[in-house]
Structure 1
Amino acid sequence: MTSLLLYQRIAHQLAEDIRQGVYLPGERVPSVRKLSQQLNVSHATVLQAYANLEDQGMIRARPQSGFYVHHTPALTAPTPDIALVERPALVTRSSIINRMRDAGVVVGPDEVVITHGCVDALQMSLRVLTRPGDLIAAESPSYYGLLQLADLLGLKVIEIPCDPDTGLSLDALQLAASQWPIKALVLTARLSNPLGGSMPDVRQKQLLKLAARFDIQIVEDDIYGELMFDQGPIRALKANDQEGRVIYCSSFSKTISPGVRIGWILPGRYREEIQRLQTFSTHSACSVTQMGVAAYLENGGYDRHLRSIRQEYRKNLSAFQLAVQRYFPQGTQMTRPTGGFILWVSLPARINTKDLHALALEKGISIAPGLIFSNTEQFNHCVRLNCALPWTIEAERALKTLGELAVQLCRQAA
């Protein structure tokens, strides 16, 4: 079974085409409609692939004409010291252990399993916990990659409502668990995607009690955890796990670079099963990259980098929020993230953001419409904005244009 999701395979092939010169810098890649027809996949899948390539800095949208190859070297970890390369992979595990202490988690080197990114970690976790046909629970709205991963593994997903301020609805989870045999719950306790919310410590403990009552195993995706603006108040869910019920997954792809595919699992009670599964994995993290990242973590460069991007993202989010408040239709609501670079915007219900996406793309503006974050249609009026790019005059113009397009759609639907 392939370990790549459908949207990842599409993104990977396009990225390879770009590297091989099939599409040159400045050249247009196929439109969403054309590529979906060529590959016989949904528009949502192509949108996910293009969002992935945008995150890697490989493509950019241009006014009136779609997506083009964008040649910008991605931020990567520094070149490792030769002496470090000769040291065992324990260096990376030790570095991760030190990072985990900041999240409130204390583990030993033998409890850390290195993976090829966070999606690989999530996939192995779910393969250990479930079988095709099983039911899992997930936050709603949810990370689109998780929805595709569940489909790839033949799993059914029940979507549990999530609040930007308090996290997963425990009442809704309890109701679902009392009616259906939920094998596992996948959630992000710190800075969920796309809401950007976090679950307070007291609710984390309540969740673990509920999971124990119904014997639900938990997979925690903490890929954004180190981007919290204030590190003290909220720890990882794994920090409160006394039973080994939580399998913790994370990666450096959101903090160092999308190209740094080094992730890890803290498997808890499932260590042997995860290690056995990894033995047959088709992916393994490059040892040289591991050593480079380890050096970056140990010499203080990573901490300086985190402080810098947290400050930058905080400023960007504030600027984006003010622009949405100023330019978007009356009745628009948005989240107030306490970290990261994602802003979730709820437009008036009569707007379909799939239409907004098409209009925006004609203006060279790329957004992630709400339809890709759920298997239902309940978020069709929502949009996720990526605030990682610097706030500039051009960014404000783009938000103003996006708001004007949303106002236009509002009037047409009235």
Structure 2
Amino acid sequence: MYNYIHIGNARSVVAFDTIRRYFEYKGYEVNYVSNFTDVDDKMIKEAAAEGITVPELGDKFIEAYFEDTKPLNVERATTNPRATEMIPEIIDFVADLIAKGFAYEAAGDVYYRARKFPNYTQLVHESLDDLENGASERVDDGDNAKKEDPIDFALWKGAKPGEISWQSPWGAGRPGWHIECSVMSTHYLGDTFDIHGGGQDLVFPHHTNEIAQSEAHTGKQFARYWMHNGFVTVGDENEKMSKSLGNFITLHEMNQQEDPQAVRFFMATTQYRRPIAYTHGNLEDAKNNLARLRSTYANFDYRLKDAAAGHNEAIEAAAKQQQVAFEAAMDDDFNVQNGIAAVYELAKLSNVYLNEDVVAKDTLVELQRLFATLLSVFGITFDEGDQMADGEIQALIDERLAARQAKDFARSDEIRDELQARGIILEDTPQGTRWRKERND
């Protein structure tokens, strides 16, 4: 990592965290590996520009990654390996590919023979000729001069004077980008694992090359399923957000400007393969929808104070239907749009019931539990600010009610203003007055 992540990068993090959460909701134990590339050409260049070492640069931005994604309620991966921690394993992996004839050394570099691997284009669905034309645009003449074929890719790169390096059978150098990920994946997940994910821009060359080198090494299928998330686009032209285009906003900046949970909700409620159009209007829609869901959760807390003992079986059955609809949507390639629609229907059902004169406590407890559980799949949780007032605030609310009954509207307004100054918003309902914390949305 050589820079702060932008919200286009965060989209992938949120998408796969949501998928992981759904697996856990379904009862699976998930071994989630998210690796860090902590040495490559861009990092060497950036470290030199900042006057620090490559490891120092990696530490800086890996720490920033965790700090920036934590407000989005992203669960920590089971393991976060770094490429520099596995140099011996990488060297052994490359040596095996050479021994099997899939790779060759050339003046201190090692390249993979892409054409030797059967069905090299299985993931990208393009011809080798098209890929060769694309490859010629991404490498310089010096690289091509060393290669047997322009489509070949680097497994090991000889170090230039002064660069960070490790000793290998081919001289001092460092691993190529693709080989790092194959070694870390197979080390922590085995020769074959269930799901490999990433952005659509990684299909070729990165994931294509991972398959070729991994399966040549193990003789086994690398990943059973490949999942690629769509981009975040910006502007009227729906231009992809990226550092190279300079049209990005960092996640750190976004967290300072917006409620991070609203940003999470904005990204988590679009199906992972679809692009997300980042506009002010779309973000505002997400913020408003999340505010309504928060209000529903607070309504549960309020009505639990005067709920009667017992169940309402008809309401609980209707809620169960929405849970079934939610799971059917998520089981269909993680269709989060239909999944969140089921949550909205559950909120609607709940709010109608909450406005009845008499409500059953056990039913409210079950509705609130289900509501919170389904929203947790999207990474939305409820903190202490969503709970009912403490004694001090409740005392002011009671005093305001007494003032209104005495037609002392000046005092009533004064109390409302005092609470608002403390970030407390009052809502008068047929069942009485409740409060919620004002958010900086």
Specify the TM-score bucket, using the shorter chain as the normaliser. under 0.3
**The structure with more helix, counted as a fraction of residues:** 2
Higher relative contact order (CA 8 A, sep 6+): 1
TM-score, structure 1 as length reference: 0.25
Larger Rg: 2
